[in-house]
Amino acid sequence: MERTLSDLRKAAGFKTQGALAEKIGVERVTVSRWESGDREPRLSMISLLAEALHTTDGEIVSAITCLRERKEKIA
């Protein structure tokens, strides 16, 4: 099963969306929207997220794609 952005955040030791948001310089609501699939991070944020979450750009993109596909199935 694919890991979500929320899974990746927690695995990297960020207990809250606010903690990750502070680390990468965005608002907490931005991280919330990414994790819920309401929005997707800009391409310029992928590497920054990957670095903060101790993972690869590919895994970030995979998590985003997985969430997008789940939301499309529901719609």
Residue 75: pLDDT band with limits 50, 70, 90: confident
Residue 12: pLDDT band with limits 50, 70, 90: very high
Region 5-74: CATH code: 1.10.260.40
Question: What distance in Å separates the CA atoms of residue 13 and residue 71, rounded to the nearest whole number?
Answer: 26
Question: What distance in Å separates the CA atoms of residue 21 and residue 74, rounded to the nearest whole number?
Answer: 28
Does pTM surpass 0.85?
yes
Domain chopping of the chain, boundaries: 5-74
Encoding tokens for residue 74? 């529901």
Question: What distance in Å separates the CA atoms of residue 4 and residue 10, rounded to the nearest whole number?
Answer: 10
Tell me the percentage of the chain whose pLDDT exceeds 90: 83
Q: Which of 14-18, 46-50, 66-70 shows the lowest per-residue confidence on average (mean pLDDT)?
A: 66-70
